[in-house]
């Protein structure tokens, strides 16, 4: 079973160079730098410029990147430009209190609105989990139970999209199930949870982390060939995000 502690064990790679973005909170970045050094995770280099962080990651000057508290739009825009992708697709490592860790996607409000993107997120998340020695069960959520059909056109569309995404993922050989709106059931056995859309995924993330105390280690960008961990500026510490970056970069 994947846990924060198992990722911390993989993160002990002092030979790696991790770029960490610095916005207005230099002290928090310094704390993450010292934590990484003390725990032997990686060497941390601080970046004030989102473009330089993305370019150095692309060119191999650093082994992985963590957004830190850089502005989200600028940071993701720099990733899109450097890696020449139209959109970044992310999934967040979440560990609710007393529960198991899973990948949650989409967590960007503009992600995962089409069936194609839902399946692509599932495909990329499964690839990442397999690198962590897990053959994932993927749960596709919708805006209601199957019995809620007919209550509104929007709910019907969401239910149909989840069913179609589940079928398509299964046809590609992924282990997938339609979990409907029942996230309380999905967290018990799914390794990847695909929210109905990017807004609801972002709300799930915020509710679990900021209100429910779930650990949120960071959200790797799935559709680039380097390790870039997106983070929330509201995180109390970036130490675990640096550890996640080191753990994933060490497997490349």
**Cβ–Cβ < 8 Å for 229, 220:** yes
DSSP 162-217: HHHHHHHHHHTT-EEEEEET-HHHHHHH-SEEE-SSHHHHHHHHHIIIIIT--EEE
**Mean pLDDT to the nearest integer, 175-198:** 96
Residue 252: predicted pLDDT:
63
pTM over 0.85: yes
Residue 195: predicted pLDDT:
98
Beta pairing, strands 227-230 & 175-180? unpaired
Do you know the residue count of the chain? Answer: 252
- pLDDT class of 150 with cuts at 50, 70, 90: confident
State the Cα–Cα distance between residues 49 and 149, nearest whole angstrom: 48
Q: What is the pLDDT of residues 58-74, one digit of tens each?
A: 999 999 999 998 999 99
Residue 102: predicted pLDDT:
97
Domains of the chain, start order: 1-88+224-252 (3.40.50), 92-217 (3.40.718.10)
Q: Which helix (H) or strand (E) holds 20?
A: strand 17-21
């Amino acid at each position: 079973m994947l846990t924060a502690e198992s990722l911390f064990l993989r993160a002990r790679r002092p030979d790696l160079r991790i770029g960490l973005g610095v916005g207005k909170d230099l002290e928090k970045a310094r704390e993450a730098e010292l934590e990484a050094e003390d725990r032997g995770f990686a060497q941390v280099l601080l970046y004030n410029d989102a473009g330089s962080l993305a370019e150095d990651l692309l060119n191999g000057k650093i082994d992985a990147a963590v957004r830190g508290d850089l502005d989200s739009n600028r940071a993701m825009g720099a990733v899109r430009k450097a890696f020449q992708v139209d959109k970044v697709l992310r999934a967040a490592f979440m560990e609710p209190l007393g529960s198991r860790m899973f990948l949650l996607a989409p967590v960007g409000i503009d992600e995962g609105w089409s069936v194609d993107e839902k399946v692509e997120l599932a495909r990329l998340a499964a690839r990442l989990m397999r690198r962590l020695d897990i053959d994932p069960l993927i749960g596709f959520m919708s805006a209601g139970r199957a019995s809620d059909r007919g209550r509104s056109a929007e709910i019907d569309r969401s239910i149909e999209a989840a069913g179609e995404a589940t079928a398509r993922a299964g046809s590609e050989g992924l282990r997938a199930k339609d979990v409907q709106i029942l996230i309380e059931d999905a967290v018990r056995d799914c390794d990847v949870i695909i929210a109905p859309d990017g807004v609801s995924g972002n709300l799930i993330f915020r509710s679990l982390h900021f209100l429910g105390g779930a650990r949120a280690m960071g959200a790797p960008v799935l559709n680039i060939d380097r390790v870039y961990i997106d983070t929330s500026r509201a995180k109390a510490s970036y130490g675990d995000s640096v550890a996640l970056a080191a753990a994933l970069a060490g497997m490349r």
